[in-house]
């Protein structure tokens, strides 16, 4: 197994071949991981623009590349717990250009992170830095304490966990599970997911769907406002239950304690994520608007949401 290592104290560029996995950790500053525009390129380039404090380690073991301050401690949750109250000044500004098929893991403490264009999934974690992904594919997992998270134009399943950082996911989302204590949650999907599960305590939740009639709903909002397709659900404990109007519905499970919950009808994508043709939904000209009190199967109750 080929092993190479570099100790970086200032601006430096490192060119590598045959990298299949990237594991990057920065404390402060910024790290960008961007896939090559040319899908046939297999090389990797690490560009360090600045380093403050401790030197940055770059290590290649076979096809596994590590950039940062060593491996994660006790996994991702351990990393977040270890650095939750960190006050050090270590910082680096790093740009990594990778093949689109690289498996990517990125973690920051206070630093910002961007992952763009990778097609084999990504995992990110931050304590208080902002995290962004753009036009990624595959399974996406993000953990944050207070940093803002934005996944733009993602194609694949999404899992996000937050304490107080806001969560946003858009694109062709296959399935979603988002958990937040007080950070707002926004979902805008162009394709119908296989399932959506959102759990929030005091966070506002907004979900936009291309075909709400294809979903099976169980939504509960204890003390906030519950608005479904323009119709406000009233009651001491606001809840909304409705099966799919055709076919086997994809489950939508949303639970919020004190935040507002809004479900909207969005514009459908012209092409499904897997490239298969879209089947026409049955048309019922006499059916009332989705989300209205007269919708077939709709019910508003004070009972608990099925989880």
Percent of the chain predicted with pLDDT > 90: 66
pLDDT value at residue 306: 43
User: 45 and 175 share a domain?
Assistant: no
Instruction: Taking residues 77-98, report their average pLDDT.
Output: 81
Q: Domain end: 107, 133, 161, which one? A: 107
- Residue 176 shares a structural domain with residue 290: yes
pLDDT bucket at 295, cuts 50 / 70 / 90: very low
Give the pTM: 0.84
**Domain annotation covers residue 158:** yes
For residue 136, is it within any domain? Answer: no
User: What range does the domain containing 89 cover?
Assistant: 12-107
Mean pLDDT of 111-126: 97
- One domain for residues 171 and 296: yes
The model's pLDDT over 32-47, given as tens digits with 9 standing for 90+, comes to 999 999 988 999 999 9
* Residue 267 forms part of a structural domain: yes
Q: How many helices (H) and strands (E) does the chain have?
A: 1, 24
Residue pair 215/249 in contact by the 8 Å Cβ criterion: yes
- Which of 92, 107, 122 terminates a domain? The answer is 107
Lowest mean pLDDT among 13-22, 69-78, 155-164, 212-221: 69-78
Q: What is the mean pLDDT of the chain?
A: 85
Same domain as 100, residue 152: no
Closest CA relative to residue 20, chosen from 116, 95, 115, 102:
102
Distance CA 188, CA 196 (A): 11
| 118-127, 207-216, 257-266, 280-289: segment of lowest average pLDDT | 280-289
Residues 295 and 156 in one domain: yes
pLDDT at 230: 82
Of these ranges, 74-88, 145-159, 228-242, the one predicted with the greatest mean pLDDT is 145-159
Same domain, 103 and 162: no
pLDDT, position 204: 97
Report pLDDT for 71: 52
CA 17/CA 61 separation, integer angstroms: 12
**Residue finishing a domain among 46, 75, 107:** 107
Domain annotation covers residue 2 = no
């Amino acid at each position: 197994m080929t092993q190479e290592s570099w100790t970086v104290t200032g601006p430096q560029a490192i060119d590598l071949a045959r990298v299949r996995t990237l594991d990057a950790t920065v404390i402060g500053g910024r790290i960008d991981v961007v896939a090559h525009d040319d899908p046939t390129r297999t090389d990797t380039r690490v560009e360090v623009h600045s380093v403050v404090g401790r030197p940055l380690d770059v290590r290649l073991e076979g096809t596994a590349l590590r950039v940062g301050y060593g491996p994660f401690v006790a996994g991702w949750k351990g990393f977040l717990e270890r650095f939750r109250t960190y006050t050090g000044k270590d910082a680096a500004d790093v740009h990594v250009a990778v093949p689109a098929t690289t498996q990517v893991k990125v973690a920051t403490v206070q630093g910002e992170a961007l992952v763009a264009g990778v097609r084999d999934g990504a995992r990110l974690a931050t304590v208080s830095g902002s995290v962004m992904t753009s036009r990624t594919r595959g399974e996406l997992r993000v953990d944050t304490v207070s940093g803002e998270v934005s996944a733009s134009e993602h194609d694949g399943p999404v899992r996000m966990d937050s304490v107080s950082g806001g969560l946003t996911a858009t694109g062709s989302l296959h399935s979603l599970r988002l958990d937040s204590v007080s950070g707002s949650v926004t979902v805008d999907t162009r394709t119908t997911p296989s399932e959506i599960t959102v759990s929030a305590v005091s966070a506002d939740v907004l979900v936009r769907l291309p075909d709400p009639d294809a979903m099976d709903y169980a939504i509960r909002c204890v003390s906030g406002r519950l608005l479904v397709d323009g119709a406000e659900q009233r009651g001491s404990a606001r809840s909304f239950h409705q099966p799919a109007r055709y076919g086997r519905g994809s489950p939508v499970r949303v639970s919020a304690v004190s935040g507002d919950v809004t479900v909207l009808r969005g514009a459908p994508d012209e092409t499904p994520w897997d490239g298969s043709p879209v089947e026409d939904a049955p048309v019922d000209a006499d059916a009332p608007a989705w989300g209205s009190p007269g919708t077939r199967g709709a019910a508003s109750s004070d009972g608990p949401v099925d989880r």
